[in-house]
Amino acid sequence: MSQITLIRHGQANSAARDESGYDSLSPLGQRQSEWLGEYWDATDEAFDRVYAGALTRHQQTAQAMQAARFGEIVTDPRLNEVAYFDLSIRMHEQYSLPMPTSRDEFIDHLPLVFAAWQDGKIEGACESFQAFQSRVSDVLSEIAAGEGRALVVTSGGLIAMAVRVAMGLELGAFSRLALTIMNTSVHQLHPVGDGLTLTQFNAVPHLARPGRHHARTFI
């Protein structure tokens, strides 16, 4: 079983109100990704395999990081984010739950959406909670079974689910965890016994310099 390093994509179009509009890096997201790649250059970090989700923001982040220097980037749609905009819109239509317009509102909104989603109360959702959890578990297992250190560029919801799968988190902890994951943050899962264990969470060493603190973004 191999170590897996998970990277959340750079800041995307946070002003968007649908999936397609969100799926592109902002100028800051591009720079965050470049800074992470430069940090790894300076520290001689290396990986044996590289994976990325199929979403535009995943691919743009991997390119800006110059992840291809570690090997061919394997694109796997199972690393794509949950369609949160779709879930939110359906919650709004079916239960009149107001759409969030600020981070504070989003903090209250996300746990309500995830609870309804887990309980199968969102009609017409493009993917069930259980299907999302299963695809994350499956892709992690396959990547962990490969040889050498793996780098994975993906999204915050998937990273939170990966931690839930590895550590057995209940829904409340999973929801709170998803709210804290920063853009281009670094997370590591290491093999311990027969499974993977979280050994690093939400690290942003490339944003530690004075003048970069503004780039520690969540949305």
pLDDT in tens, 58-81: 999 999 999 999 999 999 999 999
Could you tell me the pLDDT band of residue 35, with boundaries at 50, 70 and 90?
very high
Is residue 115 included in any domain, yes or no? no
Judged against a pLDDT cut of 90, whether residue 102 lies above it is answered with: no
Q: If you ran DSSP here, which 8-state letter would residue 24 be given?
A: S
Is residue 161 included in any domain, yes or no? yes
Determine the Cα–Cα distance for residues 38 and 69; give it in Å rounded to an integer.
Answer: 12
Six-digit token string for 110: 């996300």
The reported pTM is: 0.95
Cα 14 to Cα 24, 28, 115, 179, 197, distances in angstroms: 9, 11, 23, 14, 31
Six-digit token string for 48: 């044996």
Contact assessment for residue 117 and residue 129, using Cβ atoms and an 8 Å cutoff: yes
Number of domains making up the chain: 1
Q: If you ran DSSP here, which 8-state letter would residue 219 be given?
A: -
Is residue 160 included in any domain, yes or no? yes
Cα 19 to Cα 16, 52, 56, 156, 205, distances in angstroms: 8, 18, 11, 15, 29
Judged against a pLDDT cut of 80, whether residue 33 lies above it is answered with: yes
Cα 49 to Cα 2, 52, 148, 186, distances in angstroms: 11, 10, 7, 16
Is residue 121 included in any domain, yes or no? no
Torsional sign, CA 163, 131, 171, 89: positive
> Domain containing 19 — which CATH number?
3.40.50.1240
Contact assessment for residue 2 and residue 149, using Cβ atoms and an 8 Å cutoff: yes
Could you tell me the pLDDT band of residue 15, with boundaries at 50, 70 and 90?
confident
State the maximum Cα–Cα separation within the chain, in Å, rounded to a whole number.
51
So what's the pLDDT on residue 17? Answer: 76
More confident residue, 194 or 134: 134
Is residue 114 included in any domain, yes or no? no
DSSP string, 55-102: SHHHHHHHHHTTGGGGS-EEE-GGGSPP-HHHHHHHHHHHH-PPPP-S
Is residue 104 included in any domain, yes or no? no
Range of the domain at 154: 7-82+127-207
For 142-188, write each residue's pLDDT tens digit: 999 999 999 999 999 999 999 999 999 999 999 999 999 999 999 99
Is residue 153 included in any domain, yes or no? yes
Is residue 59 included in any domain, yes or no? yes
Determine the Cα–Cα distance for residues 41 and 192; give it in Å rounded to an integer.
Answer: 28
Mean pLDDT of the chain: 95
Contact assessment for residue 8 and residue 182, using Cβ atoms and an 8 Å cutoff: yes
